[in-house]
Structure 1
Amino acid sequence: MTSAFLSALGGRIAERWLTLLALPGLLFIAAVTTATVLGHEHWSDAGKLRAWLDALAGSPASRSAGTIALVALGVLLAAAAIGTAAQTLGAGVELLWCAEPRGPLLRRLADRRTRRWRAADAAFRTALVTAGRARIAGSDDADRLAGLAESRFARRERIAAAAPRHPFGMGDRLAAPGQRLWRAYRLDLAAAWPHLWLLADEGIRAELHAARGRFAAAARLCVWGAAYLVLGLWWWPAALVGITALAAGLRRGRAAADAFAELTEALADLHVRDLAAALGIDSPSGMDRALGERLSRALRKPA
């Protein structure tokens, strides 16, 4: 049984290593090689690339099994190193997406998002009032004005659901559950989260882990996109790959942040009363501000 477990564990580790590190790194090494051989001038010259490969295969070193093994090992190690670097930079991208507005650049980005949101909010409120007045007056334009108000509401929601506080939208989205729970129930989600996590069942934990994994994967995809954009300075097709990867990474990151935030808030809504019961706090009236304040006081232990 132990040997079977170790074999399965080794297989999973090898699969994860190949998927996250080696394979993306090998693809990038292949793209770098192609860019070096072809460049901008011969960007689609498959014959030149084939001739280079034939010359490499015909060299005396290619007839030595030891040399081939060393080259293959070196390529794999280089691919793993590149993949590890992308993974590390991806963690930095995650921190940047969730960063607080500290420093002049991040504060400027946060202020810019705030100005855009306020302008969109003012436009939505104006359109909503205009549509309401048209509806009351029985105007023929009431439906058109209502549609305009809906489109302006959607434009505001694309920036943020509430007034932005972070330089990037994903930071606001991930912070939104804590803010809403505090406003509604005076529950400190940061203090309650470890306890709520312990009360959650395996299915909910798995869903949260999956959303968190998708968020990290989206950040890594953005890193690969930036790398291919830089490579596009030498071989322009790589820039197309980079733009596509960056766009997909940003879209997936927003979707993963939305999913993680929704699951976090759902977990809190479902298990707050269970947490109160576990802590010996009565909740006869259900989840309200009184219960939230009592939980927050109980979980914020004095230093």
Structure 2
Amino acid sequence: MTSGFLSALGGRIAERWLAALALPGLLFLSAVTTAVVLGHGHWYDVERLRAWIDTLADSPASHSAGTVVLVAAGVLAGAAVAGAAAQSLGTGVELLWCAEPYGPVLRYLADRRSRRWRAADAAFRSALVAAGRARIAGRDEADRLADIAERRYVDRDRLGPAVPRHPFGTGDRLAAPAQRLWHAHQLDLTAAWPHLWLLASDGTRAELQAARARLTDSARLCAWGAGYLVLGLWWWPAALAGAVAVTSGVRRGRAAAEAFAELTEALADLHVRDLATALGIEHEGVDDRVLGEHLTRLLRKERRAE
């Protein structure tokens, strides 16, 4: 039984390694080879690439089994290295998405997003006031002004539901559940999260883990896209692939962050009283803010001054 479990575990690890590192790495190495052989001057010359492959195939070394094995091992090793580099760079991209505004560059980006949001909010409020006045006055343009106010609201909401605090929207979205739970319930999500996680069902945990994995995969896709953008210096079609990958990764990352944040907030809303029950705190008829404050103080291991 143990050997069967180890075999199944090894098969899963190999499958994940192949999907996450080897296959994207092999594709990238193929693009590197194509860039080196063709370059900008012959970017579309498939016959040139085919002739280069035929030359390799006709060389005496290609008929040696040892040489073929060594080359195959080198290619797999190179693919694994490229995949590991993309994975590390993807972790950096993920950290950058969630970064606090430390340093002049990140602070500038956060301030820029904040100014854009405040301008959009001012435009929405002005349009809303104009629509309200037209409605009260009974003017014919009231419906048109209401539509303008609705569009201004959509423009502001696209930047974020509240004033941005992070350099990138993903960071604001991931931080939103903690801020909302604190304002609504005085609950410290950071302190309560491990306990809420233990109370969650297996299906809920799987949904959260899947959303979190999609965020990581999106950051890794951006990392691969950055690699192809660099490769575009030698073969410009690679830059197109890189631009598509980065754009897709950013969009997927936003969607994954949105899903993860919504699931996190929903889990806290649904299980905050279950958490109080598990900790032996009486909550019948207790206000949410009072209960949240009590939970926060208990989970932070704070004690009242006697």
**Which deviates the most, 275-284 or 67-76?**
275-284
Describe the superposition over 1:11-67 as per-residue Cα deviations: whole angstroms up to 9, x where unpaired: 111110000000000000000000000011111101000000001111111010100
Describe the superposition over 1:205-263 as per-residue Cα deviations: whole angstroms up to 9, x where unpaired: 00000000000000000001111011111111101100100110000000000000000
Match of 2:178 in 1: 178
Residue identity matched to 1:170: T
User: Do the aligned partners of 1:273 and 1:287 also contact (CA within 8 Å) in 2?
Assistant: no
Cα distance between partner residues in 1 of 2:141 and 2:225: 46
Cα distance between partner residues in 1 of 2:154 and 2:241: 30
Match of 2:18 in 1: 18
Cα distance between partner residues in 2 of 1:41 and 1:135: 64
Using structure 2 for the length normalisation, give the TM-score.
Answer: 0.97
Cα distance between partner residues in 1 of 2:161 and 2:224: 30
Kindly state the Cα deviation for residue 137 of structure 1 after the two structures are TM-superposed. Answer: 2.0
Match of 2:49 in 1: 49
Match of 1:272 in 2: 272
User: Do the aligned partners of 1:208 and 1:263 also contact (CA within 8 Å) in 2?
Assistant: yes
Kindly state the Cα deviation for residue 186 of structure 1 after the two structures are TM-superposed. Answer: 0.6
Match of 2:133 in 1: 133
Match of 1:253 in 2: 253
Give the gaps of 5 or more residues in structure 1: none
Cα distance between partner residues in 1 of 2:161 and 2:287: 24
Cα distance between partner residues in 1 of 2:138 and 2:239: 54
User: Do the aligned partners of 1:272 and 1:287 also contact (CA within 8 Å) in 2?
Assistant: no
Cα distance between partner residues in 2 of 1:32 and 1:136: 66
Cα distance between partner residues in 1 of 2:126 and 2:277: 47
Look up the SS of the partner of 1:284 in the other structure. coil
Look up the SS of the partner of 1:152 in the other structure. helix
Kindly state the Cα deviation for residue 9 of structure 1 after the two structures are TM-superposed. Answer: 1.1
**How many pairs align?**
303
**Which deviates the most, 215-224 or 151-160?**
151-160
Cα-Cα RMSD: 1.1
Cα distance between partner residues in 1 of 2:20 and 2:3: 25
**Residue 294 (structure 2) pairs with residue 294 (structure 1):** yes
Using structure 1 for the length normalisation, give the TM-score.
Answer: 0.98
Match of 2:110 in 1: 110
Kindly tell me: are residues 287 and 218 of structure 1, through their superposed partners in 2, closer, same or farther at Cα, counting changes over 3 Å?
A: farther
Kindly tell me: are residues 24 and 287 of structure 1, through their superposed partners in 2, closer, same or farther at Cα, counting changes over 3 Å?
A: farther
